[in-house]
Amino acid sequence: MHHPWKFWKKALAALALLLFAGALTASWLYRREIARVWFVTHLFDGSAQVESFRHMDRYFRMHVAHRAGPVSPMPAASTPLVLPAQYPLTGRTRSTQELLDSTETTGLIVLRNGQVLHEHYALGNDASTHWMGWSLGKSVVSALVGLALQEGFIDSIDDPLTRYAPELAGSAYDGVTIRQALQMSSGVAWNENYGDSQSDVVRFGRTFAFGGSLEAFARTLKREHLPGTFLRYNSLDVQVLGMVLENATDRSLSSYLEQRLWSHIGASADAYWLIDDTGSEFAAGGLSLTLRDWARFGQLHLQHGRWQGEELMPRDWVALSHQAGGPHLRPGQRDSANTPLGYGLLWWLPEDNTGLDSPYVAIGVYNQFIYIDPARQVVIVKTSANRRYGMTPDESSLREAETLAWLKAVAEATDR
């Protein structure tokens, strides 16, 4: 005797099994995208990020800039540096250990005259760990622009962005020059508050992470100041420079980095640069290197672009990159900037910067730093995963001004 309910019961069971299998297959095929959603939504909510920052390939596809040749030596100094136990800040003394612990420092290296005075790792990192430098990568973009200028791919940094990225025509970047973007002086209105889910930088991150159109995103922004008159830190300024480099050189940023720098610098490991769904690099801050390789990049600048007798970068460009190119870019309180720090070409100028022999620094979110003191021949790199970063828009969570004071104290300690 035929029982229709048995047939439908079996059919429903089979359908349920197919749906379950389909869901498993989809979750496996889109596992990186699913993980990326979690990562992006938890970036600035106080979640621990150490595992994330050393395994960014779980969330994004990467381009590789391959190393080549012998690893360049970093000899240990005959007398290691003992870090100062305390450092001065606004008339008070602060604890070095508290700063290192509370900002969740994962790596620290101090070089003087190319020799390692101090090196240590924490929270599971070691010398082989790749670490996301975030906006430290902006200074790498600056180097690539200088190289493209030297090779003639870019005629002048006073050319408008739209000459090399015509897709920006009609946007707030129409009429902005390459120099003005390098100086964070595009005049484009921008909110870089990481703790605000609707800020421009957070919207930009979501657009990049979820495969949206950066061209369309750029068109959502408005002009705030006349270009070249006001310093406002704007990560999209660097992303559009990435577009300029891709179009001008007809190659990816990673390929150009490999060709001009990474295959010549004696890096200890390949460089990884995260990409969006179209294959374009996250120019604003997607580069992942080992601690020593971040230090090599800093040392290259300390040596005016020369490496083991070879000029890898134009000396004049290195010098230009840490000069204030106008009154609004000079350190100190001023109405033409929203920060007391000065700015060169994608390099920060601390408040004690008074000229070419003064310190300059690259800074990334979560407390990443490359600190260069030309007068002392010192390079310091600090990688971190400060989970409180961006939870408040002030120094209490950012810890950047405080870390700059500490870096200055460490550099001074190398005199002894």
Tell me the pLDDT tens digit for each residue of 362-391: 999 999 999 999 999 999 999 999 999 988
Q: Rounded mean pLDDT of the chain?
A: 92
From 12-16, 26-30, 312-316, 401-405, the region with the lowest mean pLDDT: 26-30
Higher per-residue pLDDT: 271 or 196: 271
Instruction: Give the end-to-end CA distance of the chain in Å, rounded to a whole number.
Output: 98
pLDDT digits (tens, 9 = 90+) for 86-123: 999 988 999 999 999 999 999 999 999 999 999 999 99
What's the mean pLDDT in 59-68? 96
Residues 287 and 56: their CA atoms lie apart, in Å, by: 10
Mean pLDDT of 35-64: 88
Burial of residue 122 (CB within 10 Å: 0-12, 13-18, 19+) is middle
Label residue 35 by pLDDT band (50, 70, 90). confident
Q: What DSSP designation does 76 have? A: B
Report d(CA 394, CA 173) in Å as an integer: 28
What's the rounded mean pLDDT across residues 24-31?
A: 53
Tell me what the mean pLDDT of segment 208-220 comes to: 82
Is pLDDT at 154 greater than 70 in this prediction? yes
pLDDT at 43: 83
As a whole number, mean pLDDT of residues 27-52 equals 77
Q: Structure pTM? A: 0.92
What is residue 23's predicted lDDT score, i.e. its pLDDT? 54
Lookup: tokens for 18: 């197919």
* Tokens found for residue 111: 């070089």
CATH number belonging to the domain at 60-413, selected among 3.40.710.10, 3.30.1330.60, 3.40.630.30, 3.40.228.10: 3.40.710.10
| For the chain, percent of residues with pLDDT exceeding 70 | 92
Domain boundaries, the chain: 4-41, 60-413
